[in-house]
Chains A and B, each alone.
Chain A
Amino acid sequence: MARSHTGTGAASRGKIGGLLMASPPIIVAAVFVGFPILVAIAYSLGHVGGLNRTIATIARGQHTVAAWDQMSLGAYRDVFTDQRFTHDLGVTIIVTLIATLAVTALAWVIAVYLRTTPEGAWFRSGVAKLISGLAVVPMFIPVVIASWAMLTFYAADGFIRSLCADLGFQGPTWGYTMVCVAIGLVWTNLPFATLMITSGVQSVPDPLIEAARDAGAGLLTIVRTVIAPLTIVPTVIALTFTAIGTLGAFTMPYFTGPNAPSMLGVDMVSYFRSYNRPQQSVVMAVVVFAVAAVFGAFYVWANFRSAKDSGRV
């Protein structure tokens, strides 16, 4: 993308100036993301001196070490022997997987529908316009509002139950259950995934699809052999973003979920604010980071691969 300027003098000036101009957000990210995470990891291992002193003086149930070269896994033992945590960790991972797969599948259906709509078919192009408009609606709505709306819609006196009652049968109550949390997370994550995947699918060249169609391939074959291989990167980006967003979700499960089990986002905040056990809260954060890192590595890999394919690296 960036090419060096003509002449070595200008090039080196551009280099230093570029680095200086680029540094403010890097410094902000280092100070307020990288550094706190390192300090938090130290705290989770029992280091309560230095920058952790203030929080350590007001916390309960801490495990501490005396010297910088020691570490204590006590807080980790606390957390992992707590059945509630292991249960919640499992629930969080399952909800994350279900929501991520559902979002990606739905986004794919929408993207393929939009891509294969022939010009001039009034019914299909009308539907296509409607669907692509609908799929981005959640982006326009703050998560807090969405969560509250989900709860009232699926509650015991919500729309679904009311409709079922009017039709003469007993409907399900999903409010305050993990079902509602999963539905809500699909709802909030749909726009980004749809935009990513639609944009990827749209950029598959027409001649490739037409050639496959001329050769007699059905829709599923075209998707599997032509569209999917060319849309791996946007799909992986959509998958990772959705998974990471879901792992760290607080508002949706807080509003719409049951008291137990709950997702780790909710546990972290209650350990930190309500139970006054920040060290255990930080341990959970570290565990969530570790799970997220697996997804993140996937993303970086996919992006590098695409950069390599197009000769950008």
Chain B
Amino acid sequence: MPVSALVAKIARQVLTVIFIVALLTFIVGPLLWLAIRAFSTSWTYPRLLPDGWTLQWFGRVFDDPQLFSSIRLSIEFAITTLIVSSVICLPAAYAFSRFDFPGRRVFLIGLFATNAFPKTGLYVALAALFYAFNLMSTFGGVVVVHLLGTIVFMTWIPAAAFASVPRSFEEAARDAGGGRLRVFFTITLPLAMPGILVALIMSFLASFDEAQGTYLVGAPEFYTMPTEMYSLVLNYPRQVAAVFSILLSIPSVVLLMLVRKHVMGGQLAEGFQIR
């Protein structure tokens, strides 16, 4: 290899390393900086590590009834939202992929439009109406807000998953004497499961992480974990906010790890193309 080519190759690798370090700092740096704080006694500027280490802040969060109840409330909202959203959206997803009814495309795009409104604007419009329906600061009102955040995931992604199940499989099973429902539950549903799972997990997290709408509609009655953060960072030591952040991130990290392969493999990207 001539020297100039070697130099060019090394230069390219050095540039790549610089890019990686920058990307690593940009993406992981803030998270690490926050996570370390949860275990610190105090932290003096401009040191790069805390003055001392402790686990006392975890006890502080678990002993605080208000913080603990927000954790429970978040889980209740997420599960309720998931059940309601599944009942409403999954049959529709199947219909969108398998039946050719009038207005199918218009409706599919119409559903998508729920995501095309900037969130805060939509919640403000919704909150104005919630006063009339007596849904302000109610459990149902918050569920509606969370539900809206899941509709596109729960129709589009499963619809793409159902559509990717070859019709010939279903027809073969039906020819072999399987009933409509039996074919659906033994052939179609299992094959579409990865896509549905991605949708379910995205929806669970959408509800679990939702902050702005819950704050606008739910406060002051309902403080979930994310909305609790708004006041937490003002009223508690910074270490407590850091502990709370770690706790709030655990479900997301665990659940997304489970479906990481499918999300990265294109189920998500695939689900957002109009068919």
Contact = CB atoms under 8 A, between A and B. Distances in A.
Q: How large is the interface on B (under 10, 10 to 19, 20 to 34, 35 or more residues)?
A: 35 or more
A54 interface: yes
Interface in B85-137: 87-89, 91-92, 94-104, 107, 109-111, 113-122, 124-129, 131-132
B46 A146 contact: no
Nearest to B122: A33
Contacts of B209: 142-144
A282 B128 contact: yes
B192 interface: no
Interface in A50-104: 50-55, 58
Interface in B51-110: 87-89, 91-92, 94-104, 107, 109-110
Contacts of B212: 250-251, 265, 269
Contacts of B257: 140
Given A25-B89, A134-B27, A152-B30, A139 B256 contact: yes
Given A40-B125, A148-B241, A269 B95 contact: no
Contacts of B43: 157
Interface string B233-275: 1000010010001001100110011001001101011101111
A230 B20 CA distance: 27
A276 interface: no
A17 to B, nearest CB: 7
A245 B206 CA distance: 14
B114 A29 contact: yes
B101 A22 contact: yes
A19 B131 contact: no
Given A25-B155, A248-B120, A265-B118, A142 B208 contact: yes
Contacts of A18: 95, 98-101, 104
A136 B226 contact: no
Contact of B117 (A37, A158, A187): A37
B147 interface: yes
Contacts of A165: 45-46
Contacts of A139: 256, 263
B196 interface: no
Given A15-B102, A21-B99, A195-B268, A32 B126 contact: yes
Contacts of B20: 127, 130-131
A195 B249 contact: no
A185 interface: no
A53 B163 CA distance: 46
B172 to A, nearest CB: 16
B226 to A, nearest CB: 4
B100 A144 contact: no
A249 B119 CA distance: 7
A130 B19 CA distance: 12
B185 to A, nearest CB: 16
B39 to A, nearest CB: 14
A149 B114 contact: no
B201 to A, nearest CB: 11
Given A248-B119, A250-B119, A300 B249 contact: no
A33 to B, nearest CB: 5
B92 A23 contact: yes
A100 B132 CA distance: 37
Interface stretch (A208-216, A220-228, A304-312): A304-312
A52 B133 CA distance: 10
B211 A251 contact: yes
Contacts of A303: 273-274
Nearest to B275: A1
A4 B167 CA distance: 12
Interface string B176-215: 0000000000000000000000000000010011011001
14 contacts: A1-B97, A1-B163, A14-B98, A14-B100, A18-B100, A20-B95, A54-B132, A143-B209, A162-B47, A244-B116, A250-B212, A269-B215, A278-B127, A307-B275
Closest 6 CB pairs of A and B: A248-B118, A18-B99, A285-B121, A165-B46, A21-B95, A199-B269
Given A28-B147, A29-B110, A140-B253, 4 more contacts: A50-B132, A55-B128, A127-B16, A293-B116
Interface of A: 1-4, 14-26, 28-29, 32-33, 35-37, 39-40, 43, 50-55, 58, 123, 127, 130-132, 134-146, 148-150, 152-154, 156-159, 161-163, 165-166, 183, 187, 190, 192, 195-196, 198-200, 202, 233-234, 237, 240-241, 244-245, 247-251, 254-255, 264-265, 268-269, 272-273, 278, 281-282, 284-286, 288-289, 292-293, 295-296, 299-300, 303-304, 306-307, 312
